[in-house]
Amino acid sequence: MKWLFEMSIAQPVAWAVLVLMIVAVAGLAISTIKIKGIGIGVVGVLFAGIMAGHFGLHIEPGTLEFVREFGLILFVFTIGLQLGPGFFDSFRKQGLRLNLMAMAVVLLGAVLTVAAVFFVDTAAALGLFSGATTNTPSLGATQQMLKTLGGKLADKTAMPAIAYAVAYPGGVFGIIAVLLFLRKAFGIDAEKEAEQFRVEQKGDVEPLRRVNLMVENERLENRLLGEVLGEDEGLVISRIRRADTGLVETATEQTVLHQKDVILAVGTARALERVQVLVGSRTDMDLTQAPGRVISARMIVTEKKSSVEPSNP
């Protein structure tokens, strides 16, 4: 362990990178742990950081300050990048109600924070507020405010982070416990609710499903996929797993079918029944997880002006 101590002194940046890598990997490992289908997700990185600090893996203050600020910037930026495309549409539909509920949570937390000042230090109370509400940006704002005010308060910038770390686990597990209680108390079926929500979003449109089918019909050997399916508007074949190589490829109309190939069909329930009768039986193989040269991404269409000109009949 002596060489680790010497490295932390001689190479503070390299040491910081090493510590961050250890914490990130350990945290991601913790995040994969689930009990009865319930996990804490990337919050595991926070717990890994707490344990690392407990066992003496510290980072030089200047480097730590930069990493903390830069990490917070990345966190806020990526959240905005993820939610931005559908933000205004969601805001128009349920924005007022959701914002009022969010304000109620924040105000209630603020009231409890004011009450906590009578029992703990003011800086610690602010950190408790950030941790209990799992609000990381508010922690950054609190520390920045203490630095700006200066004086004795500037010396307490570490206190909110300590209180935040103490309260955050309670905030995470408290939310999980409340959700489990509400689910049990009101008899909520999460899968049924999610399906109902998808139906409401799509209106009268029949929901799409997907199924993996193994090619067993001998008459389909060396046939083109486009010839087999014809012009079935309720069906799309997106991927195919070759029996000889075991790799997944993108399926097109020119894809040649062979026995024991597996295709991923997406469409309505009736369309999937038709193609199953034609192709073969279902398989438990999931082509979305199988290795190959295909990647997928979810996109939200926000461009109102189409760049594709309609063709003349």
33 and 131 fall within a common domain: yes
Output the pLDDT for position 312.
45
pLDDT in tens, 246-296: 888 888 888 889 999 998 988 888 888 888 888 888 888 888 888 887 877
Our count of domains for the chain comes to 2
CA distance 180 to 275: 40
49 and 174 fall within a common domain: yes
Range of the structural domain that residue 259 is part of: 208-279
CATH (domain of 248): 3.30.70.1450
85 and 138 fall within a common domain: yes
174 and 68 fall within a common domain: yes
Residue pair 203/170 in contact (Cβ under 8 Å)? The answer is: no
Flag whether 198 is in a domain. no
Residue ending a domain, choose from 122, 156, 191: 191
Residue pair 245/182 in contact (Cβ under 8 Å)? The answer is: no
224 and 144 fall within a common domain: no
180 and 229 fall within a common domain: no
Q: Give the predicted TM-score (pTM) of the model.
A: 0.50
Output the pLDDT for position 205.
59
Mean pLDDT of all residues in 144-154: 74
184 and 250 fall within a common domain: no
Flag whether 93 is in a domain. yes
Mean pLDDT of all residues in 74-89: 73
40 and 171 fall within a common domain: yes
Whether residue 39 is predicted with pLDDT greater than 70 in this model: the reply is yes
Flag whether 304 is in a domain. no
CB burial of residue 63 (10 Å; 0-12, 13-18, 19+): middle
CB burial of residue 309 (10 Å; 0-12, 13-18, 19+): exposed
Specify the long-range contacts of residues 42-47, CB closer than 8 Å, at least 24 apart: 43/168, 43/172, 46/165, 46/168, 47/169
130 and 67 fall within a common domain: yes
Instruction: Give the length of the chain.
Output: 313
Q: Select the more confidently predicted residue: 305 or 53.
A: 53
